[in-house]
Amino acid sequence: MKKPALITSLTLFALPLLFFGLTVFVVLGSSFYLLSHPQTARSIKEKLERPVYSIFNSQPPVLGTSDAQITGADGKAAIIQQYLARQHSPLAPYAQKVVDEAEKYGLDWRLTTAICMAESNCGKSIPADSYNAWGWAIHSTYTKYFETWEKAIETVTKGLKTDYIDRGLVTPEQIMTRYCPLSIAKGGSWAKAIQYFMWELENF
């Protein structure tokens, strides 16, 4: 008559010990794995430290203003910097400058980066020593040269505001009619590229 009670008592003690042992095994096993694979540990750490952001944007984007809402320290600059770094762009160190100038003139923070991606693969295909990653004032007989990346960012951002946004050219399709009119005959490929790169930044 006492045998079932003994079995019950052993079960009550054995099961918790078994679960505890399995938990310790998993924790120790994970720790040893991460210690022996530092790259995996760094990858997990980077994902945990990645800025948290959320963006709402209607289509097509209106580029005179941005309703993007991003949380996290320097969220916009961090996203652009990481995006450009992944592209191996020489503009990656100037991400904060890109955001500062966009906010100064009330432009969508993604616009100039999207344009430089479409025009020069983020500054990797430009006239030598021109610092002109945006195809800004580059024609068959003339090429605009800037002294520095900072000066280029300032000039292009201000120009987009005064020569495009202030004239009512606020969507990629509208900007294309002045910035890259030849693309209209090709089905608007320039505007589609700008929209795509802005979407990439939004979801990066």
Over its C-alpha atoms, the chain yields an Rg (Å, rounded) of: 27
- Place 140 in a pLDDT band, splitting at 50, 70 and 90: confident
User: Distance (Å, rounded) from C-alpha 79 to C-alpha 76?
Assistant: 5
**29 pLDDT tier (thresholds 50, 70, 90):** low
Q: What is the pLDDT of residues 84-105, one digit of tens each?
A: 999 999 999 999 999 999 999 9
For residue 40 the two structure tokens come to: 């995996």
Q: Which two tokens stand for residue 96?
A: 């904060």
State the pLDDT confidence band at 67, using cuts at 50, 70 and 90: very low
User: What tens digit of pLDDT does each residue of 107-134 get?
Assistant: 999 999 999 999 999 999 999 999 999 9
Percent of the residues in the chain that have a pLDDT greater than 90, as a whole number: 62
Q: Is residue 164 predicted with pLDDT exceeding 50? A: yes
pLDDT score of 7 more than 60: no
Q: Which residues pair with residue 69 across a beta bridge?
A: 54
Q: Is it the case that residue 1 has pLDDT exceeding 60?
A: no
Q: What is the pLDDT of residue 149?
A: 98
DSSP string for residues in 66-107: ---EE-STTHHHHHHHHHHHHTT-TTGGGHHHHHHHHHHHT-
**Residue 23 structure tokens:** 């938990």
Average pLDDT value for residue range 185-203: 96
Residue 178 has pLDDT above 50, yes or no: yes
Q: What contacts 80, CB < 8 A, 6 or more positions away? A: 95, 98, 99, 109, 110, 113, 201
Task: Say what the pLDDT of residue 49 is.
Answer: 46
